[in-house]
Structure formats: C-alpha cells, structure tokens
C-alpha cells in the first residue's frame, strides 16, 4: 500500500528552494535545472515536498532525469504515481519512446531495458553528449518503424512538415488579426476626421 497521502503535481516557483537544496545535495547542476523548472514533477507527502523527477520532451522522445527524494521512504510509491503522470504527458505530446539514465530497479521492472547500439541511433542528438552519466535505458511506447512505414516517409521529415504547416497557419492568423486591427484603426480615424470636418463646417445659422 502506498504511504498516504502522496500527491504528484507540476513544480512551481514556490518549490525552487526545496528543489535547489535537493539538486545541490545530489551534486546536480542546480542553475541549469532551475532554468528548466517546467520539466519537473514533484511529490508531496502529507503536504510537504518529498522529491522530484524531471521529464524532458524532444520531438517524439521523452527523458526521465534528475530524480531525487528528500524522503526515500516514499520513493517507490512516488515513482508509481510519477509513472502514471509520465504516461499521460507522453500521450499528450505524441511521445514514441522513453529514455532514462536513472539507476533505480523500479524503471527496469516497468519495462525499461538497456539500449543497444542500434537503439542508441534513435537517441535525440541533444542527449548524445550528456557526460558523467551511466548507460541509457529505453522503453518504446509505440512501434516507430511501423508508423514510419505507414507514413511512407521519414518520420522526422513528416514532423518537420507538420511544424512548418502549423507555423504557416499561425503566421496567417497573425496577418489576419493585424489586418483587422489596422482596418479598425483606419475606419476609426476616418470617422473622427469626418466628424471633425462636419463640426468645423457646420452652418451656424441652421436650426
């Protein structure tokens, strides 16, 4: 049974003092992690900060990182709750594969396996230069090869095209909004000018 009550939530700026103390004690890069606060989920035990886990998402990959606890008595129970939240985040962001360098046996029990040389080719370039860490564990959430085959194209190209389409739609919406603002402003100026002209040229003898 999980120690109760545990609560998982997204980290906020109010958590920074506790997070920084945790990171410094664990010899993690506190300044770097503070700048990435939005990646972190925290666990509370009886309303008190008890630990945190980072979830970084890049394209279709997610990395679990910087896991640590102020109270390790709740660690495994917290991990179960974290894992539920992580799966929801992964589904919402279209994640195909999870990665981690965390060493707790919990993650291997939930399906993470050491990444082979072939699997490491799928590791995002942004994570390939991480130093001073143990080997990678990975867990596929979806069949990447089957999706690529179904698309009939390289998935990275597909994602780039989708991003470009999204940016085009957003830019078009901005242009329409700007046009509406300029048109409204112009109509307003013209209206004021007409009113001023009529006022200045009104017939003082008209009744």
Instruction: Tell which residue, 108, 181, 183, has the closest CA to residue 138.
Output: 108
Percent of the chain with pLDDT over 90: 43
| The three-state (H, E, C) secondary structure of 11-47, written as one string | CCHHHHHHHHHHHHHCCCCHHHHHCCHHHEEEEEECC
Q: Which whole-number Å values give the CA distances from 117 to 50, 136, 148, 172, 205, in the listed order?
A: 36, 10, 20, 43, 95
Each residue's pLDDT tens digit, 19-59: 999 999 989 999 999 999 999 999 999 888 999 999 999 99
Residues 122 and 78: beta-carbon distance below 8 Å: no
Confidence band, pLDDT 50/70/90 cuts, at residue 1? very low
């Amino acid at each position: 049974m999980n120690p109760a009550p545990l609560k998982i939530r997204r980290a906020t700026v109010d958590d920074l003092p506790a997070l920084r103390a945790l990171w410094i004690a664990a010899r993690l890069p506190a300044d770097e992690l503070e700048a990435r606060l939005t990646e972190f989920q925290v666990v509370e035990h009886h309303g008190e900060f008890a630990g945190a886990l980072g979830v970084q998402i890049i394209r279709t990959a997610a990395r679990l990182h910087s896991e640590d606890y102020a109270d390790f008595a709740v660690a495994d129970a917290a991990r179960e709750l974290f894992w539920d939240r992580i799966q929801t985040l992964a589904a919402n962001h279209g994640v195909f594969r999870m990665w981690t360098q965390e060493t707790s046996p919990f993650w291997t029990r939930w399906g993470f396996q050491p990444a082979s040389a072939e699997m490491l080719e799928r590791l995002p370039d942004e994570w390939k230069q991480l130093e001073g860490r143990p080997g990678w564990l990975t867990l596929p959430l979806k069949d990447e090869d089957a999706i690529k085959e179904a698309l009939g194209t390289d998935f990275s190209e597909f994602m780039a095209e989708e991003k470009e389409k999204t940016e085009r739609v957003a830019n078009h919406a901005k242009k329409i909004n700007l046009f509406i603002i300029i048109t409204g402003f112009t109509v307003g100026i013209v209206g004021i000018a007409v009113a001023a002209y009529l006022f200045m040229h009104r017939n003082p003898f008209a009744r």
